[in-house]
Amino acid sequence: MKAVLDHVGIAVKDLSAALAFYRDALGLHVEVPEEVASQRVRAHFIPTGEASLELLEATASDSAIAKYVEKRGPGLHHITLRVEDIRAALDQLKAKGVRLVDEQPRPGAEGALVAFIHPSSAHGVLVELKQASPKPLAPSPVLRYELGDLELISLFDGYIRLDGGAMFGVVPKPLWEKHAPPDERGRILLAMRPLVVRGVRTMLIDAGLGDKDDAKFHDIYGVDRRRNLDMTLAEAGLRPEDIDIVLASHLHFDHCGGFTYRDASGAIKPKFPRAQYVIRRGEWEDATHTHERNRASYLPDNYVPLADAGVLQLVDDDMTIMPGVRVKRTGGHCMHHQIIYIESKGETAIFAADLVPTTAHLPNAWIMGYDLYPMDTLAAKKAFFADVAARNALVFFEHDPLVAAAHIREDKGKRTYERA
């Protein structure tokens, strides 16, 4: 097991006295405290090179830190070792007869997983194991790709969190959690990555979640749009009025929320003032005639105002939307879900939308529980990967938290990806 010292926890009785030493006398920087409500403790981190110090201040008399201070006085409380795979580490320790406080990891601060080893097995020291949050720390950059005469620009509209079980359908959690570690509410991190195609016209494919949702929605779906489509569009050197065509893969809220916005008067308007919005007719019909099973995914404010504004163009079939860009219906996820083929000078890129939402969904059977017609997804996936292999196509993953686009390799039936 590879373990790195993450931090040393120090139980504090009198915070201002502790700060007088660590901050004022030693001259160290003390970060803004973090409240860990479940432990009734406030944590003040002090960076000290690779590892840090953590001053632990009880916020209630029944907190473990308050009891510790009462019994033993303030001072060293625990050390924390960071490991890559906390479950593997716990299994290894159990096999060696080490006594554990936590047999299973539990959620810690900042999305980390933590577990304590009993001091009786660690020679009098309380040892915490920690697996850091999988959340990427580096912001998702705007990525540009050349494809023949076309320029493709991968944008970003933030993250949402969806139920991990629902994202992988019949695949058991012990398999999928290695690819997509769930948070304390069982949700996995997903990005929203709209794509710009610049050719004879400027097209935007899907537009992420947008900013019309309320706090309850943000809590349920773990929305993090600190970095969003407005910012990445500007970084790409584009203004909303530069977009000529907005093309929808389908009308679920995480794909078309950004089609509209709420103005100062409360009216909902098209976000891209000069654009025609191209939507498949069958999908439009489904989105405007929902049923109990799909209703939570279709929010009319995202698309009905487009019809009211007269900027809606419905297309009936697989067809070319602008030179080099055509749509192909896959069904499966929803009856009229479509993927987008981008072709120029013999090169191909495919925007896979929710057919293959992340690189974890490469195996045929890894199909979302959300899909209304999973057997259609299976057939569409087989055809998709055969086509990707035949054309050595670049695949855009709309929801992958780390990989915007990749080439796919297939060896003895096992698919891997090479980030582009």
Task: Write out the residues near Zn ion by the rule CB under 5 A.
Answer: 252, 254, 354
Closer residue to Zn ion, CB minimum distance, 354 or 400:
354
Q: Left, alpha or beta for 320 (phi > 0: left; psi -120 to 50: alpha)?
A: beta
Cβ neighbour number for residue 97 with a 10 Å cutoff: 7
Nearest distance in Å: CB 250, Zn ion: 6
Closer residue to Zn ion, CB minimum distance, 213 or 354:
354
Q: Which amino acid is at 199?
A: G
Closer residue to Zn ion, CB minimum distance, 157 or 254:
254
Closer residue to Zn ion, CB minimum distance, 180 or 322:
180
The sheet with strand 276-280 has its strands ordered as 143-147, 150-154, 195-198, 202-205, 245-247, 276-280, 312-315
Nearest distance in Å: CB 160, Zn ion: 9
Sign (positive or negative) of CA dihedral 385, 388, 392, 393: negative
* CA trace torsion 158, 164, 170, 176 (10° rounding): 90
Number of residues in the chain:
420
Nearest distance in Å: CB 249, Zn ion: 8
Nearest distance in Å: CB 308, Zn ion: 24
Closer residue to Zn ion, CB minimum distance, 252 or 361:
252
Q: State the residue number with the nearest CB to Zn ion.
A: 252
| Distance of alpha carbon 101 from alpha carbon 87, whole angstroms | 14
Residue among 153, 130, 139, 150 nearest 43 (CA): 130
Closer residue to Zn ion, CB minimum distance, 57 or 354:
354
Nearest distance in Å: CB 193, Zn ion: 10
Nearest distance in Å: CB 317, Zn ion: 21
Closer residue to Zn ion, CB minimum distance, 128 or 371:
371
| Nearby residues of 275 by Cβ (< 8 Å), 6 or more positions away | 204, 243, 244, 245, 246, 311
Nearest distance in Å: CB 398, Zn ion: 7
| Distance of alpha carbon 392 from alpha carbon 10, whole angstroms | 55
- What stretch of H or E contains 144? strand 143-147
